[in-house]
Amino acid sequence: MSNTRLVLFLIVYTFFYSHPKSTFSQQNIDCEILETERYLILEQGTTYCRSVGNVEDPAIIFIGGFTTTCRVWDNTISALCNLQIYMVSYDLYGFGDSDRPGGDYNKELFIGQLQGLIAAERINKPFVIIASSMGATIATMYACENPGEIDKLILLAPAGLKSRKPLLVKILRTPYIGELIARSLVKSKRFFRRAAGKFFSKDQIAQYADVMYNQFQKEGTVEAVLSTFRNFPLDDACWAYEAVGNYNIPTYVIWGREDSIVPVTGAETLSDLIPNASIFIIDNAEHIIQCNHPELVNEQISNILSTSGSKGTNFNKISNGGE
């Protein structure tokens, strides 16, 4: 495979693998409590978010991974609707329905977005963060800078642990070459149809190829993807995990044993950085485990939430009338 195809294959693979069928269903969260969606005007740009519950209740913030949208949390949020909690999920800058601001997609941008969301939503502190992949890195960096605000961290397949940089990433991080390759190939619908064929059945190829193509036609998407690779510590944020360990923030990690995007071998590194972390491994599970193995993940998260956090927060079940 040529370097050109290798580069875009990584981008396309990340997008398709991170967006299971349910991500595109556009169905509402299965919850008796009203779900709301809105656009928050923050300092760096507009952020799309969704929420369920009463803002006065203890809160959980959900943060997705690289190129994913907040809909990857639909199953999890639905499973937790029996708890008296306020749940907020949002699209990271550069992806989904949030803005694609100019400038570097670095730690400061994504931490600033999270800070703005917390302020705009008037989220009660301390709160729980449930985050996956790159979102777990954002959550950890925020927690080590604001340890008093965090009740628990629940991290799914956390990125940011030191790892060897593949050739593909090195190419994406090369100025001008990355732009030239990506911009030329994202214009080709044929390319996306071929890419979709690697992940979906024949009767689904056209639908998901169109979704993929349209996503990358949004102004600023390619730039956001490349800038994130170049400026965000996707593979080197051990300092943040170590700081969380030093602050003794209750940390729980759920990982798929067959994860090929963020290998489960990183669990050993994480346990050294956060000695008190509880790590749960799900067999025969890949990267986006909250979508591919929702029952197992949701059961584990429910069990974690039933324990008191560092600030003693309890998540009580909603009682029905007459009980």
More confident residue, 101 or 177: 101
pLDDT digits (tens, 9 = 90+) for 119-148: 999 999 999 999 999 999 999 999 999 999
Residue 93: the pLDDT is 96
Let me know: does 309 contact 151? Beta carbons within 8 Å.
Answer: yes
pLDDT band per the 50, 70, 90 thresholds, residue 322:
very low
Structure tokens, 323:
């009980």
Residue 317: the pLDDT is 56
Q: What average pLDDT does this structure show over 253-273?
A: 90
Taking 90 as the threshold, does the pLDDT of residue 237 lie above it?
Answer: yes
What is the CATH superfamily name and number for domain 3-305? Alpha/Beta hydrolase fold, catalytic domain (3.40.50.1820)
More confident residue, 288 or 100: 100
pLDDT band per the 50, 70, 90 thresholds, residue 270:
very high
pLDDT digits (tens, 9 = 90+) for 164-187: 666 666 777 788 887 887 777 778
Integer angstrom CA distances of residue 153 from 99, 100, 156, 190, 320:
26, 27, 10, 42, 29
The pTM of the full predicted model, rounded to 2 decimals, is 0.84
Angle between helices 134-145 and 107-121 (to 10 degrees): 70
d(CA 244, CA 227): 26
d(CA 88, CA 1): 41
d(CA 238, CA 222): 27
The residue extents of the domains of the chain are 3-305
| Three-class secondary structure assignment of 284-320 | CCCCCHHHHCHHHHHHHHHHHHCCCCCCCCCCCECCC
Q: What average pLDDT does this structure show over 87-110?
A: 95
